[in-house]
Chains A and B, each alone.
Chain A
Amino acid sequence: MNFQEILKYFVYAGLIFTVLAGIAAYLTLMERKVLAWIQQRMGPKYVGFKGILQPLADGIKLIIKEDLLPSWSDRAVYWIAPVAVLVPALLMWVAIPITEGIVLDDSDLGLFYITAISVLTVMGLVMAGWGSANKWAVMGGLRAAGQLVSYEIPFIMSILAIAMLAQSLNLTEIVNQQKTFAFILKQPLAFVIFFIAGLAELGRIPFDIHHAESEVVGGPFVEYSGAHWAVFYLAEYMNTFTVAVLTTILFLGGWVWPEMPFEGRLHDFLSILLFMFKTVSVIYLIFWIRGTYPRLRIDQLMAFGWKLLVPLSFLNVVITSVVLFYGFSHFVLSAISIFLTAVLFYMISNRSKKYDSGETVNVVSASQLRDSQR
């Protein structure tokens, strides 16, 4: 390894960090704008043209803010925790392609690498909870551990089904296999499981249990302020972007156009545009869910994960392998998967139907009550 190569890696690392930080910053603006739209308000609008510079202002504010250190905290753990959350978020991008050829390392083990790295986030959150020496933080950290570890299983299992279908762990290869049919059509069940588990991994509403403001007051982040807090949120939005990108690559066909008349640069440009469009749509969906749903309780979350998602994702893997082994048409897989997805939604709605009885509240008319009094 000569000097030039080392320099190259440094440049790449810097590039990844800068671009991702920029994207994460503007995701916060997008989230605020989307939520504002859902909630019938304006959102940020004063900084720059229609609030376009708001993330910059937020960033400057957070960096120049005083960084507080709780006196009882475990200093080393407390300071390392944000880094431990941020680094895995960045490392994942080594293997993620934006379009054909634009990737740092087009490894054959790309998918494997990503799933391995994504688990590391948990450690950072538990460290943050422990290091803060705050009861709410500890509770949030442990909640995060339980939640993230248990949703890792359906997450990986749904990825596994896709890998089997594509017969590859290389992300570029997976995308190229979706030229005719995106995998969401062949594996809708895996898509639903992947998306739900992905939301849980991100800790976004309705699964924002580990940093629920109204319950554990921000969970692991309760004692953090200023730049360190900003790092956590940077990592969270990077992860949001990563999950959206992975959804696009694995299920939505990534950057491939079914018919593409152009060649060369224009082709690449249009591919990236398509890729970004799909990604932003997924991110929009995530934000939309955030504007709509309340959050679950930790035991309900666990029950949902272990009793519903884990068995279904295993079933999905088994069915996929059977179909592939006997060489059935992929339409069979598609049909079975759609059926199971319907079952999943039926079970979810059935579960809430158990509670859904608006008749528990009756309206008695006042005149009736007056009559009964006489």
Chain B
Amino acid sequence: MQVSQSKINDDAIDLMINMGPQHPSTHGVFRLVIWVDGEKIQKVEPHIGYLHRGSEKICESESYNQIITLFDRLDYVGNLNNELAFSLAVEKLMDLEIPERAQYIRVILCELNRIASHMLFYGVYGLDAGATTPMLYGFRERERIQELFESVTGARLMHNYIRIGGIKEDVESDFKDKVHKLINDLKKSVDECDDLLSNNEMFLVRTKNIGIITADEAIDLGLSGPSLRASGVLEDIRVTDPYSIYDRFDFGIPVGSKGDCWDRYFVRVQEMRESIKIIEQALVDLPEGEIITPIKGMVRPPKGEVFVRTESPRGDLGVFVVSDGSDKPYRVKVRPPSFVNLQALELMLRDTYLADAVLVLGSIDIIMGEVDR
């Protein structure tokens, strides 16, 4: 009797495992259904929507300035970047001129927010890999940045600081010194974090050549941000489609070549260093002056639609706003980078082990608030 190979495989019993929604390393309420054969992953099926709050729909019944608070709650790790994206969209609709000082403060805070976000990634990624110390290191640095945010915006997480036309209030007089001190500390600590984890033998063994995604696949899947650059695609919206005042700064764009987990990790580590460079330049140029362009009455943009792309810590954060001329938008649609990046998970998890699923998922750096909106 002849038994074909495929027949044997059909008979093999795969174990279906629910990873999430209550799993410690799914980074929120994300559910991944995995079929495993022993430890090998045969098939995965992501399920999202556990955090769906209908933010985009709620936006349609809020006035423009109120929406900024909703954007805070999308990507709750890179809040300021989200606020910036929405304000930029409305400012483009209204064709507003933003005061220089506000522009610079926005950039400084957004880049600090990027570092904070990547620090969180760094810590959590270490924890995913099983190392406990990186998490404490990462959170310590993030704490420093959040202390600065607290002193500037009054809140540690949901800042609601960037306004349409500028920023809420001027920074304190010692802002420059504070940021100077902060980035000097950060420079040291980024190196420290890098030393601790990046070239650790076991970390290399765990993350190199895992979850590979090629440049063509990455573009086809619409990956963005560090995940796209790790695959070797030179694309950074701050440079290629500059918004705000990013075209004035000189900084580096880390680009990977393999598109594996380690590249995605290290691109982020390098990005922290580049963000520090941007902040340094912005601090030197920070001018005095107005902080907001006053708008009379309610914010009422003219009729029309606009699509703005920005580079959030997680990637291409786009905001699509349709205005009908009233004080509430007709339609708001966010292009959430995590949402799109998460689609690549199925492809990244081919030929991997169950333990890798955690690391691959971690390397995409998803924030469920943004995925489900």
Point out residues on A near B: beta carbons under 8 Å: 35, 38-41, 135-136, 139, 205-206, 208-209, 212-217, 290-300, 348-349, 351-352, 355-356, 358, 360-367, 369-370, 373
Find out whether the CB atom of B205 lies under 8 angstroms from the CB atom of A352. yes
List 29 contacting pairs A-B, 8 Å CB cutoff, sorted by A. Answer: A39-B137, A135-B15, A139-B39, A208-B130, A209-B355, A214-B130, A217-B24, A291-B132, A293-B202, A294-B197, A294-B206, A296-B202, A298-B39, A300-B205, A351-B201, A352-B201, A352-B202, A360-B257, A363-B252, A363-B254, A363-B255, A363-B274, A365-B250, A366-B252, A366-B253, A369-B239, A369-B240, A370-B239, A373-B240
Q: Bound complex: CA of A75 vs CA of B135, how far in Å?
A: 38
Point out residues on B near A: beta carbons under 8 Å: 15, 17-18, 23-25, 39, 126-133, 136-137, 140, 197-206, 208-209, 230, 234, 236, 238-240, 247, 249-258, 262-263, 266-267, 270, 274, 353-356, 358
**What chain A residues lie within 8 Å of B127 (beta carbons)?**
214
Known: A295-B130, A363-B253, A369-B240. 12 other contacts (CB 8 A): A39-B133, A39-B136, A136-B17, A214-B128, A295-B202, A295-B206, A296-B202, A298-B353, A355-B205, A360-B256, A361-B255, A369-B236
- Given A135-B15, A348-B201, A373-B240, answer yes or no on A297-B234 (Cβ-Cβ < 8 Å): no
B25 touches which of A136, A215, A356, A370 (Cβ 8 Å): A215
- Can you name the residue of chain A whose Cβ is closest to the Cβ of B264? A361
Q: Bound complex: CA of A208 vs CA of B132, how far in Å?
A: 12
**What chain B residues lie within 8 Å of A214 (beta carbons)?**
24-25, 127-130, 358
Give the 4 A-B CB pairs with smallest separation, nearest first: A295-B130, A352-B201, A294-B129, A363-B252
**What chain A residues lie within 8 Å of B23 (beta carbons)?**
217
Within the complex, the shortest CB–CB distance from B185 to chain A, in Å, comes to: 13
Find out whether the CB atom of A369 lies under 8 angstroms from the CB atom of B133. no
Q: Bound complex: CA of A206 vs CA of B206, how far in Å?
A: 12
Within the complex, the shortest CB–CB distance from A289 to chain B, in Å, comes to: 11
Q: Bound complex: CA of A213 vs CA of B355, how far in Å?
A: 11
- Can you name the residue of chain B whose Cβ is closest to the Cβ of A367? B250
Find out whether the CB atom of A296 lies under 8 angstroms from the CB atom of B255. no
**What chain A residues lie within 8 Å of B201 (beta carbons)?**
348-349, 351-352, 356
B129 touches which of A35, A41, A295, A352 (Cβ 8 Å): A295
Q: Bound complex: CA of A135 vs CA of B255, how far in Å?
A: 39
Q: Bound complex: CA of A216 vs CA of B19, how far in Å?
A: 9
Q: Bound complex: CA of A205 vs CA of B202, how far in Å?
A: 11
**What chain A residues lie within 8 Å of B205 (beta carbons)?**
296-297, 300, 351-352, 355
Find out whether the CB atom of A294 lies under 8 angstroms from the CB atom of B239. no
- Given A300-B205, A351-B205, A369-B234, answer yes or no on A294-B253 (Cβ-Cβ < 8 Å): no
Within the complex, the shortest CB–CB distance from B140 to chain A, in Å, comes to: 7
Find out whether the CB atom of B255 lies under 8 angstroms from the CB atom of A362. yes
Within the complex, the shortest CB–CB distance from A224 to chain B, in Å, comes to: 16
Q: Bound complex: CA of A136 vs CA of B18, how far in Å?
A: 9
Q: Bound complex: CA of A205 vs CA of B356, how far in Å?
A: 17
Find out whether the CB atom of A39 lies under 8 angstroms from the CB atom of B355. no
Q: Bound complex: CA of A227 vs CA of B176, how far in Å?
A: 54
Q: Which residue of A216, A360, A362 has the most chain B CB atoms within 10 A of its CB atom? A: A360
Q: Bound complex: CA of A227 vs CA of B49, how far in Å?
A: 37
Within the complex, the shortest CB–CB distance from B182 to chain A, in Å, comes to: 18
Within the complex, the shortest CB–CB distance from B99 to chain A, in Å, comes to: 24
Within the complex, the shortest CB–CB distance from B231 to chain A, in Å, comes to: 11
**What chain B residues lie within 8 Å of A38 (beta carbons)?**
133
- Can you name the residue of chain B whose Cβ is closest to the Cβ of A363? B252
Find out whether the CB atom of B252 lies under 8 angstroms from the CB atom of A365. yes
B140 touches which of A40, A296, A297 (Cβ 8 Å): A40
